[in-house]
Copies of this chain bind each other. A is one copy, B any other.
Amino acid sequence: MTSANAATQAPRARVERAALELFTSRGFDAVTADEVADAAGISRRTFFRYYPTKADAVWGDFAAHVARLDALLRSAVPGAPVLGTVCTAYADVNDYGPADLPVLRQRMRLILTEPALQAHSQLRYAEIDRVVAEHVARSTGEDPSGLLPRLVAASTRAAATTAFAAWLADDRADLGVQLHRAFDELATGFPSLGD
């Protein structure tokens, strides 16, 4: 049983809220794990049982995120254009309700600006890349470790990350729109470059 019941879910949510607040106000490096644990009302030891590293407290339940992306890609129409499918999956999996957007902004701002979190993100992205590369491999009949699947995975993820950054930089921007703009450029060989 991996899903948490009420008794374990409440503390986790408290920890994540405390972590986001503390990291946002004082910076990731300046906040110790003890402080986050204290603010959440748990011990330091328990904190590191919830999250393997301090950085993971920022990411919430990322494994579920990856699993949803994987499910979306596996349920995609077989013959559909690959990049379109990947873009739609990225957009769907990041289609948060208005109530969740502030927290998402807070989370992404930390991940994209704090060096330690920026570094850590590479490890999370690798999980996404694996799922996308496997989808491309299924669609094209290639090996998931071949150049094309890896290239599509890495560059679409680069596009998604860039879209997130653009979304963050503009308070009124829509995340789905930014994602489509980035993917469109990518899929058509960057027509805006005007070569």
Contacts and interface: CB of A to CB of B under 8 A. Distances in A.
Interface of A: 81-84, 115, 118-123, 126, 136, 139-140, 145-148, 150-152, 154-155, 157-159, 161-163, 165-166, 169, 178, 181-182, 185-190, 192-195
Interface residues of A, dominant DSSP: helix
B185 A148 contact: yes
B166 A82 contact: no
Contacts of A169: 145
A195 B82 contact: yes
Given A118-B123, A147-B166, A155-B186, 16 more contacts: A83-B195, A118-B122, A119-B120, A119-B123, A122-B122, A145-B169, A147-B162, A148-B185, A148-B192, A151-B158, A151-B159, A152-B193, A154-B161, A154-B162, A157-B158, A186-B186
Contacts of A155: 155, 158-159, 162, 186
A150 B162 contact: yes
Contacts of A195: 81-84
Contact of A151 (B120, B147, B151, B182): B182
A100 B28 CA distance: 39
A118 B195 CA distance: 33
Contacts of A190: 82-83, 148, 151-152, 187
A115 B126 CA distance: 10
A19 to B, nearest CB: 19
B123 A185 contact: no
Contacts of A115: 123
A147 B178 contact: yes
